[in-house]
Amino acid sequence: MLNGSIHVAGIELEIAEAGSGSPLVLLHGAGGFDVAHPVNELLATHRRLICPSHPGFGKSELPDWLDSIDDIAHIYLEMLDKLALPVVDMIGCSIGGWIAAEMATMAPERFAKLMLVGPVGVKTGKPDKLDIPDVFALSQTELNDLLFRDPAQMVKDPASLSDDELSIIVRNRETLALLSWEPYMHNPKLIHRLHRIHAPTVFLRGDFDGLISEEYLRAYAALVPNSRVSVIEGAGHAPHLEQPAAFAQAAIAFLDA
């Protein structure tokens, strides 16, 4: 993929692109974007793949005024303007799914199809109980067990990482806390806006996802017209990373249908 940056809303965003054809925007989860992961090449074989790093993640700037997910949604809509992309398909993973949902309620006419992978962003359960485990209260080992079906295959040894890579991990986590701490992992207003989405939408989860339950995903999907739920087997919260071939096949089949 070609790495670069784009100036949007007064800030520099890290962005990577690959492939050609109809544009597909991929919004990463809380762990950030891995430019070298094979899922990118698989998707770029079929589409022009566009992958920004969210403000405060990776090498993207974090302006003082940004403190919410819908701030990022506005920035990304402006990014699409700057890239001269009036209509795109979009895949949003985890917190990226939340951003994608916000964007699709703000400008529904700009999205042909949506895939929300283990998305957060709404409160569907009882007020006194978390829908999603408190990721900030867990040890890294406990969190890895919820994120992945096979953590041993997915988690890198911190000792093998460079100082820059470790700094990005810490920065990503700090920004996640800024955006999702209170209210925890949701925007109370989003649930009242999801009816505005009119793009065909797939809600996808890995069958071993320890963060996003099937009950939560189905309740979320019920709020979006013209949506359905699907599952990737043998994967946790990041099926695009654990099962890239199966994920890319499912994504392209949906987008091309």
> Per residue in 138-153, pLDDT tens?
999 999 999 999 999 9
CB 208 within 8 A of CB 231: no
Please name the helix (run of DSSP H) or strand (run of DSSP E) that holds residue 52, with its range, or none.
strand 48-52
Domains of the chain (ranges; CATH) run 2-256 (3.40.50.1820)
> Per-residue pLDDT for the chain (257 aa), expressed as one digit of tens each?
778 999 999 999 999 999 999 999 999 999 999 888 999 999 999 999 999 999 999 999 999 999 999 999 999 999 999 999 999 999 999 999 999 999 999 999 999 999 999 999 999 999 999 999 999 999 999 999 999 999 999 998 888 989 999 999 999 999 999 999 999 999 999 999 999 999 999 999 999 999 999 999 999 999 999 999 999 999 999 999 999 999 999 999 999 99
CB 10 within 8 A of CB 73: no
With H, G, I as helix, E, B as strand and everything else as coil, classify residue 170: helix
- pLDDT per position as a tens digit, 169-192: 999 999 999 999 999 999 999 999
Can you give the pTM of this predicted structure? 0.97
CA 104 – CA 77 distance, rounded (Å): 10
- pLDDT per position as a tens digit, 216-228: 999 999 999 999 9
Q: CB-hemisphere CA count at 13 Å for 92?
A: 27
* Residues 6+ away with beta carbon under 8 Å from 182: none
Distances in whole angstroms, Cα of residue 219 to Cα of each of 95, 113, 125:
17, 20, 9
pLDDT of amino acid 241: 96
CB 92 within 8 A of CB 27: yes
pLDDT of amino acid 144: 95
Strands of the sheet with 201-206, listed across from one edge: 2-8, 11-18, 48-52, 23-27, 88-93, 111-117, 201-206, 227-232
3-state helix, strand, coil in the chain (%, to 5): 40, 20, 40
Please count the residues of the chain: 257
Q: CB-hemisphere CA count at 13 Å for 73?
A: 23
